[in-house]
Amino acid sequence: MEWKASHILVKDRSLAEELLKRLKQGANFESLAREHSTCPSKSSGGDLGWFGPGKMVPAFESAVKRLGVGSLSDVVSSSFGCHVIKVTGKRD
């Protein structure tokens, strides 16, 4: 299985929660990623492309596995910071 996902990575959990709230109210994911994310993927609206098992930190991969395409994660904490993840594709 492979997944395609985008994320917004920030250091502060309260900011991640605020961004998630804004997304649930209809804010544009790519715009918020470009504005707030600390990951280099922010230049592409948070798009991480396709990846398989073992390519992302365990907390991130675990969240992606549980989500359906088009779904948003709750705030996910990792050694990099706090992520809001959007799954954009799955393939075998």
The model's pLDDT over 44-80, given as tens digits with 9 standing for 90+, comes to 999 999 999 999 999 999 999 999 999 999 999 999 9
Residue 69 structural domain: 2-91
* Average pLDDT of every residue of the chain: 97
Global pTM reads 0.96
CATH of the domain at 13: 3.10.50.40
Total of domains in the chain:
1
Rounded-to-integer distance, Cα 53 and Cα 44, Å: 22
State the pLDDT at residue 40.
Answer: 98
Question: How would you class 18 by CB atoms within 10 Å of its CB: exposed for 0-12, middle for 13-18, buried for 19 or more?
Answer: middle
